[in-house]
Amino acid sequence: MQLQEILYSQGFGTRRVCAGMIQQGLVQVYGPEQGLAPVTITQSAMEFVAEGLQFRVQGVDWPYAERAYLMLHKPAGTECSQKPSTYPSIYTLLPSPLRLRPQKAAVQGVQAVGRLDQDTTGMLLLTDDGKFIHRMSSPKHHVPKVYEVTVKHPLDEKQVSKLLSGVVLDDDPKPVRAAACEAVSEFHLRMTLTEGKYHQVKRMLAAVSNRVEGLHRSSIGGVALPADLPPGGWRWLTAEEIVAVQSKG
């Protein structure tokens, strides 16, 4: 694949812009051997094997990725929307190439897999793989998501038991239940859900006469949010994590 096509596919601008960056000496490519310095390429039509290619654009290293799969540590006070109403968008936390990756759909770049409320923190997945988004969002898939819940009133065994056996929410007569639930401390509940209804954790706690004061998603599928990924930070998912995050436990 031509280098200008590679850059275009990764979101660095139009083909013309990508060709211009290469011709200006702003793009370097790493060779197959580890530890060697990247080489500046000035011929935009030079061809490379895209798979596994590592390159540098304006001093920033990038891996070639046919599809982007990311993990973001969502901070409080951000919205999972391209057009936020009150708070900054989570997409402003990502570098522009990830937001501009070309898509056949009207919206360009990576998209959040599901949403977290503006005051909810924790693990969020983003990708430009529509099939992955559909699979992860499907109610049939039942991927477990673990939430750390800070509650207003002291927890007791009765509340935990109700959440495990099922509570009725106001929009559905069918009870919803936690796949797992434990009181970590008097005001800290760890709850696992395998479905994603609107404001589900908050509504379930309200149904047992308690109230959510803080909500943090700590894991999805078989992948936990790393302790060294700070709020607002993001990183690529590894090939193993892409598989593990879809696991049903």
Q: Hey, which residues are catalytic here? A: 117
Looking at residue 57, its amino acid is V
Contact 87, 81 (CB under 8 A): no
The residue behind tokens 């083909």 is 15
CB-neighbour burial class of residue 122 (10 A; exposed 0-12, middle 13-18, buried 19+): buried
Closest to 20 (Cα-Cα) out of 44, 56, 50: 44
Q: Which element (helix H / strand E) includes 101?
A: none
DSSP state of 238: P
The residue behind tokens 């200008």 is 4
Half-sphere exposure at residue 243, Cβ-oriented, CA atoms within 13 angstroms? 2
CA distances from 211 to 11, 23, 205, 214 (A): 43, 59, 6, 9
